[in-house]
Structure 1
Amino acid sequence: MKRALILEKMEDGSVLNYQNIDLLNLSDGEVRIKVSYTGINYKDRLSVDASSKVVRKYPMVPGIDFSGIVVDSKAPDYSVGDQVLVTGYGYGTDHPGGYQESVAVKQEHLIRLPEEMTLKDGMIYGTAGFTAALSVDAMEKVLGNLEGKKILVTGGSGGVSSHGVLILHKLGAKVSVATRSLEHKEYLESLGAHEVLLFDGLLEKRRALSTEKWDGVLDTTGGEALGNILTEVKYGGIVCTSGNLSGIRFESTVFPFILRGITLKGIDSVMVDHTIRNDIFKKLATSWHSENLGRTVKNVISFNELREELLNPSEGVGRVVVDMNI
C-alpha cells in the first residue's frame, strides 16, 4: 500500500483527498521511484479546478514533476538506488503524478540526476526552471554568448520568468522584467533583474517596426503584448514563447521576420527529447547554477500540508516545494 493525494471528478466539480492505494506490479521497462520531492506548478493548481480541463482522465494523482530514488526496477538502464528526476510526459494529467509516496515510471521518461544536483534542487527547478532553461538554450543558439545582451523577460515573479532572470543574470545578460505590478520589484532585482518595467507598457500599440530594444525575449505570457514585442526585437534577435497567461492570440506583420530576420521560437517542456533534457539539467547543475536559487522558493511543506496548500494557496512569491520526508 502507499499513500496518495487523489483527484476525483464529481457532478459539480472535483474532490481532492488522501487515500491508501495498492502498489501495482511493474511492467517491463518501468521503475518504481520513492518520491523524495515534488512541487506545485501553475498546471498543478489548475488541475484541482475541474473546469480547467487540465486533467484528462479521473481519478488522477496530480503532480507534474518529482524527484526521488529508484526502489525497484524492471528497466535495464536503471538500478535500485539511482537518483532520478521526472518532468513532463503527461504525469499528473494523463498518468499518475508525483503527489504520492511512490510512482511507476517508464525508463524513457526518466533522467538521471546530475551528480552536482541534489534531489531538492531538482525540484526547485522543476518544470518552470526546465522551461526557462530551454528558452535560454534557444537564445544561445541564435545569439551566441549572452553576456551584455539586452533580454526582456515577461511574466513578472512567475516560476518560468523567475528562473529565466536567474539563469540570464548568471550568464551576464542585462535583464529587464515586465510585471503587472511593482509589488515584487525587490524580489526580481534580488534574482538579477537590471530593470523592472510595468507590463501595461507592452500593451501600447506599436508601429509595424518600432525602435530596436531587445536582443532576445523570454516570453511567458503570450497575447497582445507578444505582437508588440516582436516589433522591438533587434536585427537577428530571438523571441522564445512558452505561455499564454495573457491570451492565446496576437497580431503581427511579416516585417520583423523579413526585414530584421528575427526568430520566433516556441518552447514546449512536455515532450522534449531525452538527450536534450539531460543536457539542460546538466547545465542547471553546473555552469548555469546560481547561488541565489533558493530565493525562488516560497516555502517547503510536508506531504500532509500539500492538500491544504493546493486548495488554499498561501501568500507570497516563489515555488512551493514538497518534501516527502517530513
Structure 2
Amino acid sequence: MKAILIEKPEDTQSVSLTDVNEMKLPDGDVLVDVSYSTLNYKDALAITGKAPVVRLFPMVPGIDFTGTVAESNHPDFKPGDRVVHNGWGVGETHWGGLAERARVKGDWLVPLPEGIDLRQAAAIGTAGYTAMLCVLTLERHGITPDKGEIVVSGAAGGVGSVATALLAAKGYAVAAVTGRASETDYLRELGAASVIDRAELTGKVRPLGKERWAGGIDVAGSVVLANMISMMNYRGVVAACGLAAGMDLPASVAPFILRGVTLAGVDSVMCPKSDRLEAWSRLSTDLDMDKLEKMITTVPFSDVIETAPKFLDGMVRGRVVVPIA
C-alpha cells in the first residue's frame, strides 16, 4: 500500500511517500480502506519534525481519516460501514490515515452520520469536531446568543473557520480574530459579524481589560488567551483547545475572582466516545455544508510532504483534504 512514512534511523528524520507492506500495519480490530485523510497542524509538525509529535518510528502520520470498513472483529462495525477517525494518538504512537489502509481499534471509530459524506467528514476532521466540542462547551455553561459576542482566535484556520460557521448558524455574533487582513472577506462569508486584527490580542496583558465578549474559543494559548480572558464579560466563558502561540499563560487571577470568568479546557484527542457521537451528530445538523465547501483546499497525496511547512508559516486557510482512494 502507498503511505507517507516518517523514519528516523539515527538523529535525522526522513519522510517519503512510499510502498509499505500492509503486514506492518499495527494491531487493531478494524481494517479500513481509507478514502480521505487530511493535513492538520499536528501532522505538519510531525512531517517537518519541528516538534516531537511522533513518539514511535517508523510512523505514518494523519490524525484524521474517513473510509469504509474492509475487515472487522469489533461488534459495532461490519465490512462496508462508513467511518471517521479523529485523534486517539494516531499519527503519534499508532499509524495514521495518510495511507491507503489503516488498522485501528474499533472503539476509536465513529460511524458516519447520515447527511455527511466521506469527503465532508474528512474536511470537518479533528479541527471541525474540536470546534463543535468548543461550541457545546459554551452552551453547557449557559452562553447563549443573547449574552453577547463570541470571540474566535485563529479564525481563518481549521478550528476557527468551522467554529465561526457553527456559531453564526446558531445566531451568535462572532468576532473573528486573524493576523491576515486578506482573509476578511472569507471570514465574513462564514458568518463573522466583525473581524479583529490579531495584534489587539498580542500586546501586554493587563489584569483586567475592558469587557468585550460573552465567550471565546481559543486555539492560540499564551498572550492571546490571556488577553481574551482579561476582556471577558462578567461570567464569560472561554473554551481553550490549542497552543499555536505557546503553552504558557501569562494571565492574572483577577478575571476569575472579580468577574467569575470560566476557562474551560477542550481536549479532542482522548475525548470519550459519547461526546464524539454527540459532536458528530450536531455537526450533521448544524454545519452548513456550503460554508464547509468554502473552507476546503484539496491537496494530492503526492503533494502532502511539500505542503506541510506551509502550516507552520501560517499560509493555510481552513481545511486541507487529501484524497487517498
CA distance in 2, matches of 1:15, 1:192: 41
The CA deviation at 1:252 is 2.5
Tell me the TM-score normalised to structure 2 length.
Answer: 0.92
Match of 1:301 in 2: 299
1:310 is aligned, of 305, 308, 311, to 308
Unaligned runs of 5+ in 1: none
The question of whether the paired residues in 2 share the 8 Å contact of 1:28 and 1:74 is answered with: no
The CA deviation at 1:97 is 0.3
Specify the SS of the correspondent of 1:293: helix
The question of whether the paired residues in 1 share the 8 Å contact of 2:27 and 2:104 is answered with: no
Match of 1:250 in 2: 249
Deviations 1:214-269 (CA, angstroms, capped at 9, x unpaired): 10011111111222221211112101111112222122232211222111011111
Task: Tell me, yes or no, if structure 1 residue 61 matches structure 2 residue 81.
Answer: no
The CA deviation at 1:155 is 1.1
Match of 1:321 in 2: 321
The question of whether the paired residues in 1 share the 8 Å contact of 2:301 and 2:324 is answered with: yes
- The RMSD of aligned alpha carbons is 2.2
The CA deviation at 1:74 is 1.1
Match of 1:93 in 2: 92
137-146 or 91-100, larger mean C-alpha shift? 137-146
Deviations 1:104-132 (CA, angstroms, capped at 9, x unpaired): 11011011000111111111110111111
CA distance in 1, matches of 2:27, 2:155: 44
The CA deviation at 1:25 is 9.0
CA distance in 1, matches of 2:245, 2:53: 18
CA pair 147-191 structure 1, distance change in 2 beyond 3 A? farther
Unaligned runs of 5+ in 2: none
The CA deviation at 1:202 is 1.7
The question of whether the paired residues in 2 share the 8 Å contact of 1:64 and 1:88 is answered with: yes
The question of whether the paired residues in 2 share the 8 Å contact of 1:61 and 1:98 is answered with: yes
CA distance in 1, matches of 2:324, 2:179: 34
Specify the SS of the correspondent of 2:140: helix
CA pair 103-46 structure 1, distance change in 2 beyond 3 A? same
Match of 2:207 in 1: 208
Deviations 1:118-176 (CA, angstroms, capped at 9, x unpaired): 11111111011111111111001112533573000111411111111111111111111
Q: Relative contact order, CA 8 A, sep 6+: which one is greater?
A: 2
Task: Tell me, yes or no, if structure 1 residue 180 matches structure 2 residue 161.
Answer: no
Count of equivalent residues:
323
1:71-110 maps to which residues of 2 (within 5 A)? 71-110=70-109
CA distance in 1, matches of 2:51, 2:253: 34
Percent identical among aligned pairs is: 36
